[in-house]
Amino acid sequence: MTQSPVLSVTDLVVEIPTRRGVLRPVDSVSFDIAAGEVLGVVGESGAGKSMTGSAVIGLIDPPGRIASGEVRLNGARIDNLRPSEMRRIRGKRIGMVFQDPMASLNPLLTVGDQLEETIQVHLGLRRAEARKRAIAALEEVGIPAADRRIDSYPHEFSGGMRQRVVIALALAAEPEMVIADEPTTALDVSVQAQIVALLRRLCRERGAAVMLITHDMGVIAETADRVAVMYAGRVVEIGPVREVVGAPSHPYSVGLMGATPSTSGDAASERLKQIPGAMPRLLSIPSGCAFHPRCPRAFDTCDREAPPLLRSGSSLAACWLCSPDHQHLVQSATLPEAIE
Amino acid sequence: MASFNQRLQTALDSDLAFAFKRSPVAMTATTIFALLAIAAVLAPLIAPYNPFDPATLNLMNGFTPPMEANEFTGQTFTLGTDDQGRDVLSTIMYGLRISLFVGVAAVLFAAVLGVTLGLLAGYFGGWVDTVVMRIADVQITFPSILIAMLIFGVAKGLTPVEARDEMAIWVLILSIGLSEWVYYARTVRGATMVEKSKEYVAAARLANRSPLAIMFGHVLPNVMGPVLVLGTIGLALAIIAEATLSYLGVGAPPTQPSLGTLIRVGQDYLFNGEWWILFFPAVTLLALALSVNLLGDWLRDALNPRLR
Amino acid sequence: MTAGPRPALVRADHLGRVFDVSKPWLNRVLEGEDRKLLHAVTDVSFEIAPNEVYALVGESGSGKSTIGKMIVGLLQPTAGDIAIGESPRTGRSTRLQMIFQSPFASMNPRWRVRDIIAETIADPSIDRGARAGELLEKVGLSAEDAEKFPHEFSGGQRQRIAVARALAADPDFIVCDEPTSALDVSVQAQVLNLMRDLQEELALSYLFISHDLAVVRYMADRIGVLYLGRLVEDAPRDALFAEPLHPYTRMLLEAAPRLDAFGREAPPPQGEIPDPIDPPSGCAFHPRCPLANRRCKTEAPRTLALENRCVACHAVEEGRSA
């Protein structure tokens, strides 16, 4: 990437002190997102993907806190801002779309009130202009008869339409980036496709950077430009979508893609690949590479030392197999066929 | 025994125990309540006198102030004596027994009745629900002390004169219990309706379990949390209700005085300068009700996952 | 395999279920409203052969869970019949079991796993503790786990316990209601593989209910597609995926996210699922259907029986679907 990234996260660590010890739901996470780019963050529950999103927008519930690392928005640090300053950035410079649209909408105000307020506050327009902008924004997200629907309350919209309103709201202040945390999880398949397409189109048109957090590999494959796979608080693989989803390097990514059932191909009679075990709890993250107890290709280094992100093709993978010292291990077996 | 130790360990390690150890209010309240409860239970063993044994009473000891020697007999009483020369400390300990017994029994009675009706109403719904909850609605519009007095009056009229003093305690329990069951019924009904819609109840139905088995085996253990909280707060209310009734003269008889009875007796002498006859029972009642209530409040917060 | 000449194990015949979702009587009178009826399931017929996995797939409001509950007897149908084996069923039968969606709500949190599994054991002569241990090992857990409580297990392990519980009744037929939709992908694969292995080993039949076409494709022999409480298409798996006939099935297949469709720019489907209390006239799918004409708006399509499959669509019947 030649231009400087919109969002740049470096060695981010989030800690939650509890009486049973300090939890690290996010551990040394680094990534960049460029303007107009969609970075998909995938992982299973407990991987730390949502916590990473919350950390970026400064919405970690106490006693959790950012213990170290940096978050930069267009070059300026935003991880150490005061809550009041952060509040000004959220909504204005970073738009947010969550799984539950009602979490972002005030049920007591009409959709128009909320849109107009955001536009007035952040863009400094007068009321009449703000209303015109609001109607245009609703039309843009595909709400039919926007000039009439603008005076409806959130509960008068269906689930999919509500999520469209939230997208309009997230984009109303023309933010530099949008964080979408499981934006389609609560929606039906046929509606989900519409929302994903809408989000991608609008962000591309406006050149906003998008951080798309989801557990759905299919949504990631179709939407993201680059993908970060998270496991037990760390990014285990990051790279272009074709590579990470189509030809993953990290054994966890390999397992994840193999475990995802598909509607295409002739795999119907084949067995799903399965990864043994489950995501470790935050209190008992294994030593070394956190994935090693479940990894079919783990060897002696893996339980001693956590691997850094190493180059593998055009992506980076946190796996000792990608280290030049261990190339002989890679040759001995090509990618694992059946992980069972 | 290993499993007991294991269970004890788990209990001590639980979040509730952790929250308890970190709450000075809960610790203090528990300590006060425990002291009062021990004093009540062990009263016959540790009380300096038996205030209800006429043989030990000496009218000459009447109105002895606390910590002062009686001018006639030279005896000293820690908290003084009342008009009949009874040791106030001992009457308080015996009075605590009555107050606590009535309170606990009334709460148990109200809880059993309310939980059962609430379970039935919540699980079966329909007309069972309608009947039970409409009765509850009507009853809740009357102040509970009024209902208790009503029941007490009717029961008193029905019992023969010579059995009245003996029956008084039980009538007290019945009347307080009947005026409090509504809260348990409402809470349990709501919780039951939530639990009933959960899939484990459907699984039990698929296993051909009877509705009663599901209600008491599955639903009941899962709705007991709020009942525990209500019961603790209800105990404070029941103790106050008992004291109020006894104060009004419709509760515990003077032969078996509760804290409320002692306060009623004591107020006659307050303005004669014999303050201790009223003061010490009143402070004890306050301490008892307050400690139970604070404990209940803390328990409610500790068991509420949203406040954690 | 599909339902051939063998007698069906489970037969649903013109099944229907109406829910009364009106406000209480007094409110209706005061506000001058009519009764509101929700037709959750309308005229649904299908058969499940022994040793077959039949899947019902549909989005929210399709009535798929309602059908599952009616089959096992947790809900009574308001129309039609359910026949199990040869005889029409009376009351509940322990030969039917169910695996529920939520790994959390489907087990009493205050019961030990042994008791949870033992509750479904119907035969009183069986040693319950031993049987529970045996079943736990069958689903990939250890016999010692019987002494634990549900909260000590992860979601995937709990779903294994749910499978063990269902097997405890020694069933011929299990209704699986979205058994993996609450699980993570890697754990979902474990549970799906386990369920498939057990189905083969114990010659079980499943009614597999899901919103996920990819999961259904992995599990089912035959698939029924539901839209707003009606069965719009019913076909063997391979036929359905190779040649979907109903426009709704096509839309679902088109919309399902794919792992190999990087940056797909296909136009997304139009419209949303209508309110089931006030469904569109005629064919309920017509407002979203690219093939709809005037007949579709007024006349509900009848089920057209083709060779080995059924479809309810005017466009297919008239040969307009191409």
C45-72 pLDDT tens trace: 999 988 899 999 998 888 999 999 999 9
Higher-pLDDT residue of A272, C53? C53
Give the Cα separation of C255 and C154 in Å (integer): 31
At residue C7 the predicted structure's pLDDT band, cuts being 50, 70 and 90, is: confident
Distances in Å between the alpha carbon of C118 and those of B299, C113, C134? 34, 8, 11
3-class DSSP assignment, residue A187: coil
For a pLDDT cut of 70, what percent of chain A falls above it? Answer: 93
Whether A44 and C184 lie within 8 Å, measured CB to CB: yes
Give the Cα separation of A170 and A158 in Å (integer): 18
Amino acid in position B256: Q
Note which residues in 95-114 of chain A have CB less than 8 A from chain C: none
C289's tokens: 């259907």
First to last CA, chain C: 28
Q: What residues are paired with B21 via a beta bridge? A: none
If we measure between CA atoms, which residue out of A239, A197, A216, A227 comes closest to residue A39? A227
Instruction: Please tell me if residue C176 touches chain B, with a CB cutoff of 8 Å.
Output: no
Q: For residue B225, is pLDDT > 90?
A: no
- The A21-33 sheet, strands edge to edge: A21-33, A7-18, A65-73, A76-77
Give the Cα separation of C195 and C216 in Å (integer): 13
Closest by Cβ to C100, choosing from B199, B208, B209: B199
Nearest-Cα residue of chain A relative to residue C253: A263
Q: For B262, phi and psi rounded to 5 degrees?
A: -60, -40
Q: For residue C189, is pLDDT > 80?
A: yes
Helix H or strand E segment including C310: strand C309-311
Name the neighbours of C, counting chains with at least 3 Cβ pairs within 8 A. Answer: A, B
Q: For residue A91, is pLDDT > 60?
A: yes
B204 CB neighbours in chain C (<8 A) are 108, 119
C149 Cβ contact list (under 8 Å, min separation 6): C109, C110, C111, C112, C113
pLDDT at C88: 39
pLDDT at C86: 53
Q: For residue A328, is pLDDT > 50?
A: yes
Nearest-Cα residue of chain B relative to residue C111: B218
Note which residues in 214-253 of chain C have CB less than 8 A from chain A: 214-215, 217-218, 237-238, 241, 251-253
DSSP B81: B
Write down the mean pLDDT value for chain A.
Answer: 86
Residue the block writes with tokens 């009143």? B282
- Neighbouring CB atoms inside 10 A of B304's CB total 12
CB A116 within 8 A of CB A169: no
Q: For residue B168, is pLDDT > 70?
A: yes
At residue B60 the predicted structure's pLDDT band, cuts being 50, 70 and 90, is: confident
C1 Cβ contact list (under 8 Å, min separation 6): C49, C51, C52, C221
Rounded CA Rg of chain B: 23
Instruction: Please tell me if residue B199 touches chain C, with a CB cutoff of 8 Å.
Output: yes
Q: For C191, phi and psi rounded to 5 degrees?
A: -70, -40
Distance in Å, alpha carbon of B85 to nearest chain C alpha carbon: 55
Distances in Å between the alpha carbon of A153 and those of A108, A233, B193, C71? 7, 38, 30, 39
At residue A335 the predicted structure's pLDDT band, cuts being 50, 70 and 90, is: very low
Span of A296-305, B153-162, C67-76 with lowest mean pLDDT: B153-162
Rounded CA Rg of chain C: 21
Q: For residue C154, is pLDDT > 60?
A: yes
Instruction: Please tell me if residue C119 touches chain B, with a CB cutoff of 8 Å.
Output: yes
Give the Cα separation of B14 and B4 in Å (integer): 15
Q: What is the CATH number of domain B39-47+76-307?
A: 1.10.3720.10
Distance in Å, alpha carbon of A43 to nearest chain C alpha carbon: 9
Instruction: Please tell me if residue C19 touches chain A, with a CB cutoff of 8 Å.
Output: no
pLDDT at C221: 93
C294 Cβ contact list (under 8 Å, min separation 6): none
For helices B220-247 and B164-196, give the axis angle rounded to 10 degrees: 150
Whether C189 and A268 lie within 8 Å, measured CB to CB: no
**For C190-240, what is each residue's pLDDT tens digit?**
999 999 999 999 888 999 999 998 899 999 999 999 999 999 999 999 999
Tell whether the torsion through CA atoms of C249, C251, C257 and C261 is positive or negative. positive
Whether A45 and C184 lie within 8 Å, measured CB to CB: yes
Q: Locate the domains of chain B by residue range.
A: 39-47+76-307
CB C298 within 8 A of CB C314: no
Instruction: Please tell me if residue B3 touches chain C, with a CB cutoff of 8 Å.
Output: no
Give the Cα separation of B18 and B23 in Å (integer): 9
Write down the mean pLDDT value for chain C.
Answer: 87
Give the Cα separation of C229 and C58 in Å (integer): 9
Q: Which of A198, A263, A339 to mutate to test the interface with C (most CBs of C within 10 A)?
A: A263
Whether C255 and A189 lie within 8 Å, measured CB to CB: yes
Question: What average pLDDT score do residues B117-137 get?
Answer: 91
Q: For residue B12, is pLDDT > 90?
A: no
A208 Cβ contact list (under 8 Å, min separation 6): A6, A35, A36, A95, A171, A175, A176, A177, A178, A202
